[in-house]
Amino acid sequence: MPTDVYIGIGSNIDAERNILEAIEALEHRIGHVKSSSAYRNPPIGLDGDDFLNLVLHLVSDAGPVAFEEILNDIERSAGRARSGSGAGPRSLDLDLLLYGSLVDAELGLPHADILHYPFVLCPLAELTPGLEHPITGIPVSRTWSEMAHMNPMLVKLEQLQTPATGGDSRSSRAAEG
């Protein structure tokens, strides 16, 4: 059965190229991809270049485990090696944030980052403001509105140039709640 799937995507190594290639790979393997704006933010808990982050929405028949395998394949294609502590620069980071309204602790759904990091919650709320978090039942736009008051260090960019968005990557303004 077709399911709404939300993916967090980020990179701080050749970020725009890696993100655009990942979106193209997802479109090729799954179908139409809808994208939030991209946001630039400093790395959290590590040294390195700023990250570009955004959230994607797809509709898929692939189950959550199969979908994770697709994401891992695309990460590997971008040179991502999952080893060590996990804290370090990323060529590509693809996280399955939501798979419909599925709540499954073993699969890590919904992804905990949604409620903890502005670079995940902000683009998710932009993309689908009325979406209710499967555990809290609160619309993500309301949760973002509350988090935005903490002055997160996000800079909203115009849409990246992709077939899905037709935008470009010129810098815009700081993200607001």
Contacts of 144 (CB under 8 A, 6+ apart): 118, 121, 122, 124, 125, 177
Phi, psi of 148 (to 5 degrees): -60, -25
What is the set of active-site residues? 80, 90, 93, 95
Q: What's the token pair of residue 14? A: 């050749």
Distances in Å between the alpha carbon of 6 and those of 58, 66, 82, 99, 121? 7, 14, 21, 7, 11
Amino acid at the residue 158: E
Residue type at 21 in one-letter notation: E
